[in-house]
Amino acid sequence: MTELVSLTKQGDVAVITVNNPPVNALSPGVPEGIGAAIQAIRKDDSVRGAVLIGGGRTFIAGADIKEFAKITSGQRERGIELLPLLDEIEGCPKPVVAAIHGTAFGGGLEVAMACHYRVAAPSAQVGQPEVKLGIIPGAGGTQRLPRLAGVQKAVEMCAEGSPVRAEEALRCGIVDRIIEGDLLAGAILFLRDALDRGERPPRTRDKNEKLGDPETNAPVFAAAREAARKKFRGMMAPLAAIDAVEAATGLPFEEGCRREAELFRQCLFSEQSKALIHLFFGEREVAKIPDIPKDTPVLEVRKAAVVGAGTMGAGIAMVYCNAGIPVVLKEADAAALERGLAAIRKNYASSVKRGRFTGEFVAQRLELIRPTLGYDGFSEVDIVVEAVFEGMELKKQVFAELDRVCKPAAILSSNTSSLDIDAIASATSRPERVIGHHFFAPPNVMRLLEIVRGKASAGEVVASSLALARRLGKVGVVVGNCRGFVGNRMYAQYQREAQFLVEEGASVTEVDAALYNFGMAMGPLATGDLSGLDVGWRIRKEFKHLEPEGVRRPLVADRLCEMGRFGQKTGAGWYRYDESRRPVPDPEVERIIEETARAAGIERRALDAGEIVERTIFALVNEGAHILQERIALRAVDIDVFYVNGYGSPAYRGGPMWYADTVGLGKVCDRVRDFERRHGAHWTPAPLLLRLAEAGKTFADFDAQIRAARE
Ligand code: 3H9
């Protein structure tokens, strides 16, 4: 065999083991190795059947995703052709059992479904997650899965990409038995039972009983399409996956596979797939910090504390509880503490109602919260998250107290979204243990954690923060210390342009609709209303003395705040809100905008959606380029991962920096220059953007250089 696939024998049973760490992907050599093993088994009269198993921590986790870029860039001539291998396995006259542990994902599940039987460890998971990469199963997954699991389940798994656990896989017919204890021994026993029964190795392709009929299938496909259009707005792969499963119900197996292959290719060569694959690797790359070695020791977090039980503090406490970490929740007065606890209980109750958590799970989580008005229990915690009101003096006071009450090794983190982390750290005797942990609202939902590295933050504290982020189910992105860090610093430019656009003549709904249609989860003005316009107002007032003179500033948001229109929480902001918090366009706001623009001498005109998108998204990109140049973000992909996970940027566009690459930095730069001529110095192109555009390069090239330097 190859080094990647070994063939051994246990009596009359052959064992094919895939050894391609870390996840046994089907990299070049693996399919060939499995194919050669099957041929050897066919010829070997002493072998009656085989078990296919993964070495190390998992079964095959899918095709090698790195190969896709080689195919689409032309670097690799042929696609990944797994179908002949799967025919080979399925056509083998001796039964082959797939023994699954870890994850049988994508091509891994497709290989398993071509085997005659599947057994699984209780902790195993199976899935067709291809849509998350903007593609669909491309090796018969959409044809074999409905034959095993039925149409409804197959549509769900292929269109949504979520895995199912072994128990459910057994229930719906994807696996035949769950093996407690030694998986290989159990798989061999299972195989011997099958051999003793003397049955012909069953081929999944022949199992047509679960394929249903057009009448019962039609509403299943219609409902799946409707759900996919809502849940995966703008994405093509989920709809293509549904088409492919539908083909399984209407076409003979081989023709269905051909249809699947066509759809797979269309998806693979789309910009969406390239963007999503960029994010897949990006999410893993953000945890690699050039000056922090992989083996840096990390602090084990057994207990945590949160200071402040407001919206953010309460949400952060829930994040810790959900990860099973006991948390002390401190507030200054009893009423505020009770409000925070009530918010947590209400939030959990609605999760139970929606079926996300069981009542038992929630009861256990609530047990983990220990409310307090003082600092009792703080001496035992490994980490504190400060989430008090956003003001430097208060934060310094809290950190000085934490320094006094917490053990020396404890990490002291701040949830500040914009304040100087070094200034906060200066209030302690241990600035090396201080770091920013900026969560995004609502903390128990949003995946992003902005990890702000102060000038003194120790490598161990950064590494521990990244490990903790993963444990909390977050994606941690490490950024440097500057005003607003990466998130709010870039977002401020985006918001600024959105507001300038309304002053210049676009309506509130036009601005929001243009960006919603671009794929943002919400328009910028509706987002402002959701997070509260008063937050930015307060920050603008705090930093007013730092604003350079003579620079144009948005005017309307301050006027809305002066009128008490803080957004959803006051029932009015950029929109008015009805009792169900639905936004209603408000003529009063349009009147205020017109009045303000007239008073400021701003000429108003019609603006189209294209210009709205360019003005807002290129503002993000230009600021992103400044941030990269200043090394506040390590790589462009860090910014992309950041914006997709924290700011509702559409994943299928790959994040703002990747999107700029797809537009072409030359074109982006020309538009930025044009905006500079028309709107002033805040549009001056970032030197890095200019440099890359002039050299015909991309942000991806910039990242490649950083990667090369690291390696
Ligand atoms: C497919 O199969 C298409 C088919 O229909 C056939 C078409 C013809 N390839 O996530 P981790 C790397 S599409 C290459 O940190 P975990 C990953 O980058 C594929 N590399 O570990 C990382 O590298 P590094 C369908 C891969 O334990 C390292 O492995 N399958 C692949 O938290 C560890 O990864 C999927 O979409 C891959 N397939 O989670 C599964 N997978 O250390 C994608 C991982 O250098 N993978 N790597 O940063 C996953 O969901 C998770 O990695 C998994 C393990 C759950 C398996």
Residue 639 CB partners (closer than 8 Å, separation 6+): 486, 490, 624, 627, 628, 633, 655, 656, 657
Residue 495: per-residue pLDDT? 95
* Ligand 1 site, residue 25, Cβ cutoff 6 A: yes
**Contact present, 457 and 483 (Cβ < 8 Å):** no
CA of 109 relative to ligand 1 center, distance in Å: 13
Q: What gap in Å lies between CA 369 and CA 318, rounded to an integer?
A: 9
How far is residue 225 from each of residues 243, 423, 679, measured CA to CA in Å? 9, 52, 43
Q: What gap in Å lies between CA 289 and CA 459, rounded to an integer?
A: 9
Number of other CB atoms surrounding residue 342 within 10 Å: 12
> Quick one: average pLDDT of 21-34?
97
Q: Is 283 a catalytic residue?
A: no
Residue 540: per-residue pLDDT? 79
Q: What gap in Å lies between CA 219 and CA 688, rounded to an integer?
A: 52
Give the bridge partners for 84, in sequence order: none
Q: What angle do CA 67, 70, 74 make, to 5 degrees?
A: 145
Residue whose CB lies within 8 A of the most ligand 1 atoms, among 20, 23, 105, for a mutation test: 23
User: From the candidates 90, 110, 160, 503, which is the catalytic residue?
Assistant: 110
Main-chain dihedrals φ then ψ at residue 548, nearest 5 degrees:
-65, 150
| 82 CA: nearest ligand 1 atom | 8
If you write DSSP's letter for every residue of 605-669 in order, what string do you get? Answer: ----HHHHHHHHHHHHHHHHHHHHHTTSBS-HHHHHHHHHHHS---GGGT-HHHHHHHH-HHHHH
- Name the residue with the closest Cα to ligand 1, atom 45: 284
The amino acid occupying position 196 is D
* Ligand 1 site, residue 124, Cβ cutoff 6 A: no
Of 149, 595, 294, the closest CA to residue 141 belongs to 149
pLDDT per residue as tens digits for the range 253-273: 999 999 999 999 999 999 999
CA of 24 relative to ligand 1 center, distance in Å: 9
* Ligand 1 site, residue 302, Cβ cutoff 6 A: no
Confidence class for position 2, pLDDT limits 50, 70, 90: low
pLDDT per residue as tens digits for the range 427-448: 999 999 999 999 998 899 999 9
Residue 120, SS3?
strand
Confidence class for position 708, pLDDT limits 50, 70, 90: confident
Does the structure show a pLDDT above 90 at 543?
no
Residue 117 CA, distance from chain mean position: 34
* Ligand 1 site, residue 90, Cβ cutoff 6 A: no
The structure's pTM equals: 0.95
- Name the residue with the closest Cα to ligand 1, atom 19: 62
Residue 79: per-residue pLDDT? 80
Residue 306, SS3?
strand
pLDDT per residue as tens digits for the range 114-143: 999 999 999 999 999 999 999 999 999 999
The amino acid occupying position 7 is L
Does the structure show a pLDDT above 70 at 68?
yes
Of 16, 145, 194, 25, the closest CA to residue 89 belongs to 16
**Contact present, 109 and 86 (Cβ < 8 Å):** no
* Ligand 1 site, residue 93, Cβ cutoff 6 A: no
- Name the residue with the closest Cα to ligand 1, atom 56: 61
What share of the chain in percent tops pLDDT 90? 92
Q: Among the listed ranges 45-54, 154-163, 529-538, which one has the minimum average pLDDT value? A: 529-538
Residue 615: per-residue pLDDT? 98
* Ligand 1 site, residue 533, Cβ cutoff 6 A: no
Residue 142: per-residue pLDDT? 98
Does the structure show a pLDDT above 80 at 546?
no
pLDDT per residue as tens digits for the range 582-641: 999 999 999 999 999 999 999 999 999 999 999 999 999 999 999 999 999 999 999 999
pLDDT per residue as tens digits for the range 72-97: 988 887 888 899 999 999 999 999 99
| 125 CA: nearest ligand 1 atom | 55
Q: What gap in Å lies between CA 706 and CA 184, rounded to an integer?
A: 43
| 68 CA: nearest ligand 1 atom | 13
Residue 31, token pair as written in the block: 């399919």
Q: b/e string for 571-588 if b means 16 or more Cβ within 10 A?
A: ebbbbbbeeeeebeebee
Q: What gap in Å lies between CA 149 and CA 286, rounded to an integer?
A: 37
Question: What value does the mean pLDDT of the chain take?
Answer: 96
Residue whose CB lies within 8 A of the most ligand 1 atoms, among 65, 273, 707, for a mutation test: 65
Residue 290, token pair as written in the block: 């050039």
pLDDT per residue as tens digits for the range 93-121: 999 999 999 999 999 999 999 999 999 99
* Ligand 1 site, residue 282, Cβ cutoff 6 A: no
Residue 506 CA, distance from chain mean position: 32
CA of 69 relative to ligand 1 center, distance in Å: 14
Number of other CB atoms surrounding residue 605 within 10 Å: 7
**Contact present, 658 and 636 (Cβ < 8 Å):** yes
Does the structure show a pLDDT above 60 at 293?
yes
Q: Is 156 a catalytic residue?
A: no
Residue 1: per-residue pLDDT? 57
Of 571, 70, 529, the closest CA to residue 277 belongs to 70
Residue 506, SS3?
coil
* Ligand 1 site, residue 54, Cβ cutoff 6 A: no
Residue 449, token pair as written in the block: 């954690």
* Ligand 1 site, residue 246, Cβ cutoff 6 A: no
> Quick one: average pLDDT of 479-495?
93
* Ligand 1 site, residue 601, Cβ cutoff 6 A: no
- Name the residue with the closest Cα to ligand 1, atom 39: 23
User: From the candidates 90, 130, 504, 510, which is the catalytic residue?
Assistant: 130
CA of 185 relative to ligand 1 center, distance in Å: 27
Does the structure show a pLDDT above 80 at 539?
no
pLDDT per residue as tens digits for the range 188-238: 999 999 999 999 999 999 999 999 999 999 999 999 999 999 999 999 999
